[in-house]
Structure 1
Amino acid sequence: MGPRAADEEETGIHCRLDELLEERGMTLTRLSELVGMSIVNLSVLKNDRARAIRFSTLTAICDALDCTVGELLVRSD
């Protein structure tokens, strides 16, 4: 593993937000409205750039997408 900045470290966790949105025909804008989170912050999750997520946010996203935490977040290694 080459030198990386701390904020670029891989966590081994993949967020399947893009796939779940597509499966449900939902836009990031609509999810933003449902969960009360900015599109920018949801995009960070969607693009696997997030380093942390609040349990309340995780619950709101799972409720809005009618999915489980295990469907949204998976091990990528």
Structure 2
Amino acid sequence: MSLQEQFAQAQADSKNLPERPDNMTMLKIYGLYKQASSGDATGERPGFTDMIGRAKFDAWDGFKGTSKDDAMQQYVDLIEELKDE
């Protein structure tokens, strides 16, 4: 199975985890997904009034410089880890 196929499977699996991950883990999942699918964060960082948007942007921006393939692999590994909990 190619990395792209594993990534697609992990996306599907992320919707059926045994329990909802904590917020920090959810942000990590989001950041890795965005880095894998879109590359480095772009656009303006949301302002103080958009706390959720700001946290999501920061999570994505935290993976700046990570290659798309590396982000895909980290995403796959994280989802696999969460499936086993």
Say yes or no: TM over 0.5.
Answer: no
Q: Larger strand proportion, structure 1 or 2?
A: 1
TM-score of the superposition, structure 1-length normalised? 0.30
TM-score for both structures, normalised by structure 2: 0.29
